[in-house]
A = this chain, B = another copy of it.
C-alpha cells in the first residue's frame, strides 16, 4: 500500500482552475471578481447588491456530535458534500469559516478540510489569505487606541479606566499578552491601567463582520459596541469615540466574501471565523446569503458539536439573518462514538460494538435536538480505515431506530465518489419540503429564560444557576433595551454538560452561569459557563519550529 499522503501534499498536487473560471461557473462577471493571486478572489459589493431579487437556493447545515480527540471531520464532510452534490449534477457551493493564523503555529494543523475533501490553496487559506483577519485586527485595535487616546487627552467622556471592557487583539497564540498593565512610563504614555489581548477570532468585530448584512449595517453595529463604562456606570459606545466610521473603512474589503475552490474545482466561499464559544461560530451572513443566490444548494458548517454549533447557527445566525435551513447533516465517526462510549484513545483500533452502541446515545440526542428546530436530519459516518463492518452496521441500526438514516461516507479517501449516497439523501431531504425552521426560544422571552431554554431543551440540564449579580446584570440589560437579543452560551464543546469529562448523554446536570457579557454590536448576550480561553498559548514545542519553506519555496510542516 502506498504511503498515505498528508493534507498539504494532496492540496499541492491539486489541479486548480483559474479563479475567474470558478467565478464564471457561478455567472459572476469578471469585473465583479477581485482576484487575490490566480486562485482566490473577493466578490465585489456592487455585484452582491445586484443579486437581491434572485430566488434562494437550499441551505444545508453540517454539524457534528460532541468532538473528541479522535476527530469527527466536520469541515472535511462539508467540503466533501459540496463536491458530492456537484458530482450528482446539482449546482452547489460550500460556505465555511476562515481559519485563524495564530493557532497554525501552535498545535493544530490547518482548517481547510482534509484528505481528498479540501479547499485550496490551503496554505494561503490557513495563513494570511485575503487579509480579512488582519483588517479585523486593525479595526479592533484602532478602537482600542482611540479609547486610551481619549483618556490621555482629558477623558471628556468620563470613562472609568477600571471599567474599559474593550481589550486589544492579535492573531497569534501569545499567553504573555492575556493580562498586561499598559500606559506605563510616565506622563507621555497616558494613565496606567489593566488591559490585555484576545486572539483576533474572539474580537466582537469578527462577530459583527459575520452577522452584518452590508456596509451600512456593519457601521451601525460597530457604533453600537460598548467599550467601557463611565463612573456613573453608563455605557460608552464606539460611536461616542467617533471610531465606528473609520473602523468600517478598514473593514470595507474584508466584508466581501472570498471565493476559492475545492480539490474538485467546485466553488467555495471561505469568509469570517468567529469563536464558537463567546461568539456564534459560523461563516459570514453575507457569504451565506450570496451563495444562496448563486447556487441551488449551499452547504455550510457551524463550530463544535450540534449542542453549541447548530444551536447558535439556528438561534443566532438563522434567526437574525432570516435564513431557513432545509436539512442538516450530523457528522459522526465510529472512533469518536466509541470514545463517547468510554473507550480510551489508545484502544480505538480494536472493534468494540458495545462501546459504540453506548456512545451512539450522544449522536441520538443531537439528532433529536436538531429536529427540535424543525430541520430534518441525516447522519454522515465519516469513514476511518479502522472501522469494521459490524461497527458500521451497529451505528446504522441505531440511527434507523431514531427514524433517521446513517450513511457511510468515504470522501476523505475518495473525494466526491465516496459521498454520492449522502448527497442524494441530502437532496431528497431538502427537496421534500419537510423543513419548518423555528428557533428554540422566542425573542420576547426574558434573557435568563432564554438561557434556561437552551440548557434544558438542548443540554438536558436539570437547572441553571447564577449569582445574584449575573441575574441583576441581565435584568439591567433588559431595562436598557437589550432584552430581545438572543443568548450565546459559552460552554465546553466536549460535553452536553459544563464538565468536559462527561461524555455521552449527561442528564439533569446543573449549568452555572459564571459571567455574562454584552456584545451589543454583534447583537447577543454571552453567558459564560466555566473557563473560557480567549487567548491561547503555544505548546512547549510549537508547530512553528517545524514549519519552513522548502528549496522550491513551498511551505512544509503546515498540515
Contact = CB atoms under 8 A, between A and B. Distances in A.
Contacts of A137: 134
Given A35-B37, A246-B547, A250-B127, A182 B176 contact: yes
B538 A146 contact: yes
A189 B175 contact: yes
A126 B141 CA distance: 17
Contacts of A146: 538, 542, 544
A7 interface: no
A108 interface: no
Interface string A133-149: 01101100110111011
Interface in A160-202: 168, 170-185, 188-190, 194-195
A545 interface: yes
Contacts of A548: 245-246, 248-249
A490 to B, nearest CB: 18
Interface in A224-278: 242-243, 245-246, 248-250, 252-253
Nearest to A19: B35
A545 B146 CA distance: 9
Interface residues of A, number: 72
Nearest to A151: B176
A45 interface: yes
Nearest to A179: B185
A148 B176 contact: yes
Contacts of A190: 175-176
A260 to B, nearest CB: 15
A142 B249 contact: no
Contact of A172 (B42, B141, B178, B549): B141
Contact of A131 (B131, B141, B185, B553): B131
Number of copies: 2
Nearest to A252: B549
Contact of A553 (B35, B45, B195, B547): B45
A142 B105 contact: yes
Contacts of A144: 174, 176
Contacts of A188: 175, 537
A545 B31 CA distance: 32
A344 interface: no
A483 B548 CA distance: 31
Contacts of A253: 128
A218 to B, nearest CB: 9
A31 B38 contact: yes
A441 interface: no
A307 interface: no
A188 B31 CA distance: 51
A245 B175 CA distance: 22
A558 B250 CA distance: 12
A128 B388 CA distance: 52
Interface of A: 31, 34-38, 42, 45, 101, 105, 127-128, 131, 134-135, 137-138, 141-142, 144-146, 148-149, 152-154, 168, 170-185, 188-190, 194-195, 215, 219, 242-243, 245-246, 248-250, 252-253, 537-538, 540, 542, 544-545, 547-549, 553, 555, 558
6 contacts: A34-B38, A35-B35, A149-B537, A176-B190, A188-B537, A215-B549
Given A134-B134, A144-B174, A246-B547, 5 more contacts: A128-B250, A141-B172, A144-B176, A146-B538, A149-B175
